[in-house]
Structure 1
Amino acid sequence: MDNEPKHPSKVVAKWPKDNKVKVLERPSQSPDLNPIEHLWAEMKKRGLARRPTNLTRLHHLCQEEWDKIHPTYCGKLVEGYLKRLTQVKQFKGNATKY
């Protein structure tokens, strides 16, 4: 339950109430703190910059770009989690620079 306005299914919204499941309150479209989302954004940026012309080429480009990502980059994404979390708390779930 991410409170995303694109997913307004009444059945999904009703299920937690019917099953006494407590749902955390959070603003819709709040910043995603998951480091993998930042990695996917980087992959998307790299892949689009190379302008693939078909799915096969896109697949090869993704593999090449994935191999170029150094483990320290991933480590920095994880290390930056606390900073992102602190800023999200400070802005009460609203937009941040992340």
Structure 2
Amino acid sequence: MKLKLGRKWVFQMNNDPKHTAKLVTKWLKDNKVNVLEWPSQSPDLNPIEYLWSELKRRFCQEERAKIPLDCCEKLVEGNPKRLHQVIQFKGNSTKY
């Protein structure tokens, strides 16, 4: 894909593992992409990240409101059986 930006631009990305994978790093180098150096574990200052967070929060609230009360009650009522099985299996995998 040709963006016709010339060579005067710098690509910015955070140090998320998927961005720093060997394949990505090689591609960026092979394609002579100027990448802005960015410290790992730095605060994310990209506004889109905050928007994604807000969308997830709103979606979860909307979906949570659709869960019937009896579903929650059944989960709470079944908890003693699940706990008993965890103890019985000494913390290993259970059918739950």
Measured against the shorter chain, the TM-score band is 0.3 to 0.5
TM-score computed with the length of structure 2 as normaliser: 0.38
Q: Which has the higher helix share?
A: 1
Normalised TM-score (structure 1): 0.38
Q: Which has the higher contact order (CA 8 A, sep 6+)?
A: 1
